[in-house]
């Protein structure tokens, strides 16, 4: 079934369920996606809500379902493990094997430490940089997302544009003292970063960056410039690859863009749809997780009840096995390119000031003229147009986040066709055009 189908009974049940959610959940939701959307199941590149509506799914659980929903081989691996145990709070062979696969795949990875979420992985990566260097400040980029920690929530989406390098907290409840420990720079401006680093090099423990910042690709030479700066000043370079890891290439964005960091963080795809994330990097830095190597003063304590649990590990292992098969990445990239090209053609026909930003497995339309090179450039986007397009896409059976298309290996030609038809209709029905 394409598009939407609804029954009165299902719609009534859906409203009742949302009413229940509003009584027991702040804002009626989990804090992630639009709370009125209540999904029931997913198969391949599609999902269904509790009212029976079918959607082409470009949300993909915010990215983990790169193989699509319910891949039969992943499900079979999980079923086999469920009968043997779900978690142990101890080493298990599958977690060890997954760490071996990550070390083999990721250029920077000599060792791996598991966490339960990308937020934790980013937090520990920054803490590792401080432990390794003995310095305290972290440099991040305005608009860069590094989880929900106090440090991560500095200048992610600042409501007030401060002068660099002053950070702006994105949440209530963050101590003012954290602002003294974070420096903020504009993405893709190597000159600005160089000036900041040279002025504060003795204080900066690490630079953390999304190699593709939300949707914005790195300018030529930018990531290598960061690598060179870190080498020159003894700073730890951290690539946040929670999103890009195993999505752009089997070796992540560091392989795709050809720049190797000291540490990277991973999540989403490595758990195959189950909660799992990791920090990976140089053994000399990762040694701070080992008291026997660094002593009490250098030891970084890290404990997680479900870290490396065998169910997530077998799902991740099977996912990585499938990704290694010939043609897998080519298929995802071909789908993404077809969507991007079709959208560009429709934007041109509509004469709309808009552009595609991102890479084929992860992109969106930014409704603005001019180069989109950093966070402040995205503020030129017409939010009303974006909201209209997203609404019409949803009505046309297309599920996506507010500002991302996640493309999966499971998406098919019919999904591309339905998406482009709905996108064209959204542009044709823009108010005032």
Active-site position among 268, 318, 400, 404: 268
Active-site position among 55, 145, 250, 375: 145
Two structure tokens written together for 123: 């937090």
Q: What's phi and psi for 278, nearest 5 deg?
A: -160, 155
Sign of CA dihedral 303, 306, 307, 309: positive
How far apart, in whole angstroms, are the C-alpha atoms of residue 209 and residue 237?
8
Distance of CA 316 to the CA centre of its chain: 16
- Alpha-carbon distances, residue 152 vs 110, 208, 349, 403 (angstroms): 25, 10, 40, 20
For this structure, is 268 an active site residue? Answer: yes
Q: Which of 349, 341, 356, 345 is nearest to 428 (CA)?
A: 349
For this structure, is 406 an active site residue? Answer: no
Within a 10 A sphere around the Cβ of 307, how many other Cβ atoms? Answer: 21
For this structure, is 240 an active site residue? Answer: yes
Direct distance between the N- and C-terminal alpha carbons of the chain, in angstroms, rounded to an integer: 31
Compute the 3-state secondary structure of the chain and give helix, strand, coil in percent, each to the nearest 5.
45, 15, 40
Active-site position among 57, 150, 240, 262: 240
- Which residues face 358 on adjacent strands? 363
Cβ contacts of 189-195, under 8 Å, gap ≥ 24: 189/374, 190/219, 190/221, 190/222, 190/225, 190/226, 192/164, 193/139, 193/225, 193/226, 193/229, 194/225, 194/229
Q: Could you please report the per-residue DSSP string of 27-39?
A: GGS-SSS-TT--E
The answer to whether 391 and 36 are in contact (CB under 8 A) is no
CB neighbours of 305 closer than 8 A, spacing ≥ 6?
A: 87, 89, 116
Residue 137 DSSP SS3: strand
CB neighbours of 35 closer than 8 A, spacing ≥ 6?
A: 18, 21, 22, 25, 27, 28, 29
Q: Could you please report the per-residue DSSP string of 66-107?
A: TT-BT-HHHHHHHHHHHTT-S--SS--HHHHHHHHHHHHH-T
Known catalytic residues are 145, 240, 268
């Amino acid at each position: 079934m394409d598009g939407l189908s609804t029954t009165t009974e299902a719609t009534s049940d859906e409203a009742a369920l949302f009413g229940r959610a509003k009584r027991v959940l702040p804002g009626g939701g989990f804090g992630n996606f639009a709370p009125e959307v209540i999904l029931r199941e997913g198969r391949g590149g599609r999902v269904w809500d509790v009212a029976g509506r079918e959607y082409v799914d470009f949300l993909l659980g915010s990215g983990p379902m790169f193989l699509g929903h319910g891949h039969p081989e992943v499900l079979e691996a999980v079923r086999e493990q469920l009968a043997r145990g779900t978690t142990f709070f101890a080493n298990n062979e599958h977690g060890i094997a997954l760490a071996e696969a990550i070390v083999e795949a990721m250029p920077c990875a000599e060792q791996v430490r598991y966490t339960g979420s990308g937020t934790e992985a980013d937090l520990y990566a920054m803490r590792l940089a401080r432990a390794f260097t003995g310095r305290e400040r972290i440099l991040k980029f305005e608009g860069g997302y590094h989880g929900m920690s106090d440090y991560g929530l500095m200048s992610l989406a600042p409501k007030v544009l401060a002068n660099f390098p002053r950070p702006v907290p994105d949440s209530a409840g963050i101590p003012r003292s954290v602002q003294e420990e974070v420096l903020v720079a504009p993405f893709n401006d190597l000159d600005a970063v160089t000036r900041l680093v040279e002025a504060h090099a003795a204080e900066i423990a690490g630079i953390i960056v999304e190699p593709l910042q939300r949707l914005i690709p790195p300018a030529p030479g930018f990531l290598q410039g960061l690598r060179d700066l870190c080498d020159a000043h003894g700073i730890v370079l951290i690539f946040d690859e929670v999103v890009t890891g195993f999505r752009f290439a089997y070796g992540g964005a560091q392989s795709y863009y050809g720049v190797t960091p000291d540490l990277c963080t991973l999540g989403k795809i490595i758990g195959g749809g189950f909660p799992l994330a990791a920090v990976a990097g140089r053994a000399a830095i990762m040694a701070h997780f080992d008291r026997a190597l660094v002593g009490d003063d250098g030891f970084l304590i890290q404990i997680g009840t479900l870290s490396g649990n065998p169910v997530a590990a077998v799902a991740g292992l099977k996912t990585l096995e499938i990704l290694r098969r010939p043609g897998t990445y080519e298929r995802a990239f071909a789908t993404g390119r077809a969507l991007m090209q079709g959208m560009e053609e429709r934007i041109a026909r509509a004469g709309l000031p808009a552009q595609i930003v991102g890479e084929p497995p992860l992109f969106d339309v930014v409704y603005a003229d001019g180069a989109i090179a950093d966070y402040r450039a995205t503020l030129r986007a017409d939010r009303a147009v974006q909201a209209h397009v997203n609404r019409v896409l949803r009505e046309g059976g297309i599920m996506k986040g507010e500002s991302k298309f996640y493309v999966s290996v499971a998406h098919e030609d019919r999904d591309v066709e339905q998406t482009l038809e709905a996108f064209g209709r959204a542009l044709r029905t823009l108010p005032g055009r």
